[in-house]
Structure 1
Amino acid sequence: MKLSHTPVEYHLIDNVPLFIKRDDLLHPAFSGNKARKFAYYLQQPFCHIKRVLGHGSVQANSLYSLASLAQLRGWQLDYYVNHIPQSLREQPLGNYAAALAAGANIIATDGQSGEQLEPMLAQLAAQEDDCLFIPEGGRTAEAEFGVRLLAEEIAQWWHEQQLTELVVFLPAGTGTTALFLQKSFKSMLLPIKVMTCAVVGGDDYLRKQFVQLCGDITCHPTIVTPVKRYHFGKCYREFLLAWQQLNRAGIEFELLYDPLGWICLKSVAAEINQPIMYVHQGGVLGNESMLPRYRRKYPELFTQ
């Protein structure tokens, strides 16, 4: 099971030179940043744990990765979602189908938000000695363990390339990976700057996530603000075009985070004047559910 040491490839995409860290080549069950965020839970004993509680989207990459984690460790996963569409119940696909196959117990709350669920699940886990709660998207202090290993891989590559500086870019949900990367590079005293953009919520939401995990703002990544506001999970024409442009590099990217990440990176690439590494965080299994939505909305962009 490959969970570390992914290659770095050079690509020129729309005249932007990029070094792409291929974390999408990690084991499919823990593709990309989930392999990094959940490394702690894979390697530590946790002998007393029998059940894991999680919550988030019904098509979240973390759902499948948590289900795989639970399956490997012999745990039961109870994963709470806001809603399960009837069409998905009748014809499971993507992360939802893979999680079901791995034995996940997916529970629809019919309206409860993540802000309501998180304290409830945390309290439940605290009351049961054999229960473990992992917040949405793996936003935990324990995620630093695996992200630090990613930072060390990037640092090793940076030294081998004999670079004097580097910008590492990746789009953010909770911002956990970006934060712990920047914190790691700072502790290593390396001139590597992490830049990100808020895909879920806005810049203020992302700053709040950073502060909850690390109060030292000097460890926080630089946030690139999109030129317009986008609603998370909604299909946009420019997202599909950005995704198609990325894919012409011969690598499949995912449709939820990478399009906005690429749009934001292009908007500042000319000003960076440093080598740029884009961290491919995996998650392409989610394309199984996203692509049909895009095909229905923009059929003219799939003619070729």
Structure 2
Amino acid sequence: MKLANSPVEQIHVAGHDVFIKRDDLLHPQFSGNKARKFLYFYEQDFPTVKKVLGYGSAQANSLYSMAALCQLKGWQLEFYVDHLPQLLLANPSGNYAAALALGAKVLPAPVSGGEQIASYLQQLAANDPECLFIEEGGRMAEAEYGVAKLAEEIADWYQAEQLSQLALFLPSGTGTTALFLAKYFKQHELAIEVFTCPVVGDAAYLQQQFDQLCANRQWHPTIVAPAKKYHFGKCYRDFLTLWRLLNQTGVTFELLYDPLGWMTLLQTAPTLAMPLMYLHQGGLLGNSSMLPRYQRKYPQLFSD
């Protein structure tokens, strides 16, 4: 099972040569960055654990990856969601269908709102040694274990290429991966600057996520706010246009995070006099549910 040492390739997009760290080529069940975030739970022993409690969206990459983790470890996954669409229940697809096939139980949360669900599950796990609670999207200190290994791979490549500086871009949900990458490079005094854009919320929300995981802001990555406001999970024509342009490079990207990540990279690139790297965080299974949504919203763009 390949959970480390993903290759680096180079593509040309919109006049820029960009290196791609291909974490999408890690084991597909762990959707790139989840292989890094969940590595601690995969490699460490939890002798009393029989059940994992998680929460998030029914189409979250983390749902599928947690289901794979639990199958490998012999655990039962109970994954709680705020909302389970009737269309998805009737026609399972994407990460939801794949997680069910791996034995996950996807359940309606007994309380509403992310913080309330997290608190509820934390309390359950605290009172039961057989339960392990994993935060939404792997947003927890344990994620640093695997993300530091990713940072080490990038640092080794950077040194082998004899670079003097590097700009590393990635889009952020919880910001966990970006934070622990930046922390590693700064602690090791490497001239690798991490840039990230908020996809789930705004810059203030992302900064709050960083602060919760690491109070020392000198270790934080640089947040680049998108040029315009996009609502997470909505379908935008310019996302689809850019996604199609990216796929012409021979590398397939995903439709939820990557379009905004690449927009951020391309808007920032002209201000940087250094090589560029984009972290491909996987999540391609989500395209099987995102593409039909784009087809329903923009049928004229799929007429050919």
TM-score (structure 1 length as normaliser): 0.98
Rounded to whole Å, the distance in 2 between the matches of 1:67 and 1:189 is 37
Q: Please tell me whether the aligned partners of residues 8 and 22 of structure 1 are also in contact (alpha carbons under 8 angstroms).
A: yes
- What letter matches 1:126 in structure 2? A
| Amino acid corresponding to residue 270 of structure 1 in structure 2 | P
* In 2: Cα distance, 1:178 partner to 1:51 partner: 29
The match for 1:129 is 129
Cα-to-partner distance string for 1:122-165 (whole Å, 9 max, x where unaligned): 11101111110001000000000000000000000001100000
Quick one: distance in 2 between partners of 1:303 and 1:5? 40
Contact map agreement 1:203 1:223 (CA 8 A) in 2: yes
Amino acid at match of 2:32: G
Contact preservation (8 Å) 2:32, 2:280: yes
Distance 1:160 1:221 in 2: 23
Give the whole-Å Cα distance in 1 for the aligned partners of 2:7 and 2:129: 40
| Residue of structure 1 in register with 2:213 after alignment | 213
Q: Distance in 2 between matches of 1:11 and 1:251?
A: 8
Aligned to 2:4: 4
Could you tell me which amino acid in structure 2 is paired with residue 224 of structure 1?
A: V
The answer as to whether partners of 2:147 and 2:181 remain within 8 angstroms in 1 is: yes
The residue aligned with 1:287 is: 287
Query: In structure 2, how many angstroms separate the alpha carbons of the residues matched to 1:303 and 1:219?
Result: 48
Equivalent residue number for residue 76 of structure 1: 76
Residue type of the alignment partner of 2:139: R
Q: Kindly tell me the number of residue pairs found equivalent between the two proteins.
A: 304
What corresponds to 2:158 in structure 1? 158
Amino acid paired to 1:147: V
Q: Are 1:241 and 2:234 matched, yes or no?
A: no
Once residues 51 and 211 of structure 2 are traced to their aligned partners in structure 1, the CA distance between those partners, rounded to angstroms, is 29
CA displacement, residues 216-272 of structure 1 (integer Å, 9 cap, x when unaligned): 101110011111111110111111111111111111100000011111111111111
Contact persistence 1:83–1:111 (CA under 8 A): no
Deviation at 1:188, TM superposition (A): 1.2
Q: Could you say which residue in structure 2 is the equivalent of 1:49?
A: 49
Q: What aligned pairs does 1:142-221 form with structure 2 within 5 A after superposition? A: 142-221=142-221
Q: Contact 1:139–1:176 at 8 Å: present in 2 too?
A: yes
2:111, 2:117 within 8 Å by CA — same for their partners in 1?
no
Provide the rounded CA distance (Å) in 2 between the counterparts of 1:60 and 1:2.
21
**Separation in 2, partners of 1:20, 1:32:** 13
- Residue 171 of structure 1: how far off its partner (Å): 0.2
The answer to whether the 8 A contact 2:183-2:220 is kept is yes
SS at match of 1:171: strand
Within 5 Å, give how 1:13-92 maps onto structure 2.
13-92=13-92
- The secondary structure found in structure 2 opposite 1:53 is strand
For residue 88 of structure 1, report the CA deviation from its aligned partner: 1.1
Residue 102 (structure 2) aligns with? 102
TM-score for both structures, normalised by structure 2 = 0.98
State whether residues 83 and 110 of structure 1, in contact with CA within 8 Å, keep that contact through their aligned partners in structure 2: no
- Distance in 2 between residues matched to 1:93 and 1:240, nearest whole Å: 20
**C-alpha displacement of 1:110:** 7.4
Task: Specify every segment of 5 or more residues in structure 1 that has no aligned partner in the other structure, as ranges.
Answer: none
Query: SS at 2:172's partner residue?
Result: coil
What do you get for the CA RMSD once the two structures are aligned? Answer: 1.0
Match of residue 116 from structure 2: 116
- The alignment-based identity, stated in percent, is 60
Deviation of 1:302 (Å): 2.2
* Unaligned ranges ≥5, structure 2: none
Corresponding letter in the other structure for 1:172: S
